[in-house]
Structure 1
Amino acid sequence: MLRNFDESDLVNNKCSVQGKRSRVNQNRLLEFRVSSEVGHAGQEFLVRSATLWLKADLIRTRENKCRTEIFVFKIISQLPDTITLSSQDFNRAMSEPITLALEESRSGWQKINVTTIVSKWLTDSRTDKLQLLVDCSCCSHWHVHIFNREIDKISNKNRPFLVIHTDPNSAKRVRRRAIDCSADSGNQCCKQRFYVSFKQLGWEDWVIAPPGYYANYCRGDCGHPRTPDTYNNFHTHVIEEVRKTHHLSGMQPCCAPLKFSSMSLIYYGPNLDVIKRDMPKMVVDECGCP
């Protein structure tokens, strides 16, 4: 997750939960990695916000009201895949936790602010993965979906995921061979950057991330003289020769998308399940004259 977004660079499977069985004190670790499409740990990302989404379902109300809290620890030491730590060793291996109080009136998906943890991880060249330990106190009347049991792996719809919003100018981008529209483009066929806000579309109640994206579009015309090597296929060349020979203005070729790319969308499904899907052909990357 996931191509790069100008508003949400790292989303869900761009940093995805790994299938390894790493455990600390019987709790399965959440492990996230940066995909090769986005970059790598140690690359300078300016993180604006990072949110860990966890599903916590209330099983039953409780008479004896104790404070129910989720704790999120970052692993800061190299550990074996499976280990049981004493209290002293645990404190040395973990960062200070981020806490979230669970409220019975807010059963379901919980959002935990992990901006500080993720910022340090993405600028730390020593590790390419982020390991988090999730624990919960006074949680006997809750089911927190952290996949400690093998059977839990079947319920992918409840898997934790990470959404990161970065400064689009902070990460190195792959420069595409395309003509972008500018003040000097004139009426030449070019790609116009165009941002679509899901909030303005009225979709913010079901789209989780990103808040929007650069869909882009093509503008300009293709009426300028062209050499044979600039045509994408022989058919277009023939039609253009016919148009010029017979002065058929109605056959004017159009500036159109030549290359698209996908984008990842995280949204609520019909039953309020969280779905992550790579949507094909959502972003115009290149424009040209066929």
Structure 2
Amino acid sequence: MPRDLTHSPPSVAGSRVNQNRLLEFRAAVESGQVGQEFRVRAATLWLKADVVQRHDAAKCRTTDIFVFKIISNRLPESVTLSSKQFDRVTADPISITLDESNSGWQKIDLTETVRTWLTDSSKEKLRLFVDCSCCSNWHIHLFNTERDKRSSPNRPFLVIHTDPNTAKRVRRRAIDCSVDSGNQCCKQRFYVSFKALGWDDWVIAPQGYYANYCRGDCGHHRTPDTYVTYHTHIIEEVRKTQHLSGMTPCCAPLKFSSMSLIYYGPDSTIIKRDLPKMVVDECGCP
């Protein structure tokens, strides 16, 4: 299924290079997945940059933000590097030009950088150095001071969109609906598109998700060990003995998982929230 993976770097932890704190990301393995086999469709770094005063054309004709990938794993916690040293420990620079008419959240395309990271070294952290040598008129939210709070809505974050069916999944005993499942209780995959709901103007990620639902019949013969509770077992025996057709057991969700949602909040703030019980993982007859 398509996945949107969202990562936020620590706000006050992490290494520093030339006085700037690195942005560090880890690839988290979701429940039910093994390995790190993701085929990245797109990856975007969201970075907040606010104008603090008007641009001085005599000093800078353009204001460019550069993002470098740190390729060395042996840097000390805090280090100052010369130009030659910096070139040896970094790679894959990506840049965008800041525009005073577009102050606020900036989107930087890191698709190729993230593809390489997840393919070659997914167990290692992705460490990024953000540099803007002509940003005296801008405030770049890189969280270089201890006063910055972890919960701040201005923290940089990385959104990764992956292609369908690229992650290996652990097989469960729960039944997924298929041609062979017949009318027995099963989990039906069901994709919800936020664009189709008209929510794409405020939801940043994901573009949609598999909510799933349960369908099928629970009226087949069951052994006592298949009941989730003793109460359900007793009620089922009463139903069969007294032929109470109005007490038909229902195929229902037995296990849920959460999902992360990134969206625009008040005053164009960006909010990331983990919403519980958004995805049906397993269905059964309670």
Q: Does TM, scored on the shorter chain, surpass 0.5?
A: yes
Q: 1:10 and 2:5 equivalent?
A: yes
User: Counterpart in 1 of 2:20?
Assistant: 27
CA distance in 2, matches of 1:126, 1:219: 37
Instruction: Tell me the percent identity.
Output: 71
CA distance in 1, matches of 2:214, 2:151: 42
**DSSP 3-state at the match of 1:53:** strand
The C-alpha deviation readout for 1:126-184, integer Å capped at 9, x for no partner, is: 85101100011321111110112222346621110011111242222232221000011
RMSD over equivalenced CA pairs, Å: 1.9
Distance of aligned partners of 1:195 and 1:45 in 2 relative to their CA distance in 1, 3 Å threshold: same
CA distance in 2, matches of 1:106, 1:94: 29
- TM-score under structure 1 normalisation? 0.91
**DSSP 3-state at the match of 1:85:** coil
**DSSP 3-state at the match of 1:152:** coil
Aligned length: 282
**DSSP 3-state at the match of 1:158:** coil
User: Counterpart in 2 of 1:201?
Assistant: 197
Equivalent of residue 191 in structure 1, options 171, 187, 192: 187
The C-alpha deviation readout for 1:78-102, integer Å capped at 9, x for no partner, is: 3111111111111111114100111
Q: Is the 8 A contact 2:70 2:127 kept in 1?
A: yes
Equivalent of residue 101 in structure 2, options 101, 105, 110: 105
Equivalent of residue 248 in structure 1, options 244, 247, 251: 244
CA distance in 1, matches of 2:173, 2:133: 54
CA distance in 2, matches of 1:252, 1:22: 60
Distance of aligned partners of 1:276 and 1:222 in 2 relative to their CA distance in 1, 3 Å threshold: same
Gaps of 5+ in 2: none
- TM-score under structure 2 normalisation? 0.92
CA distance in 2, matches of 1:11, 1:155: 15
User: Counterpart in 2 of 1:224?
Assistant: 220
Q: 1:57 and 2:43 equivalent?
A: no
Q: Is the 8 A contact 1:17 1:160 kept in 2?
A: no
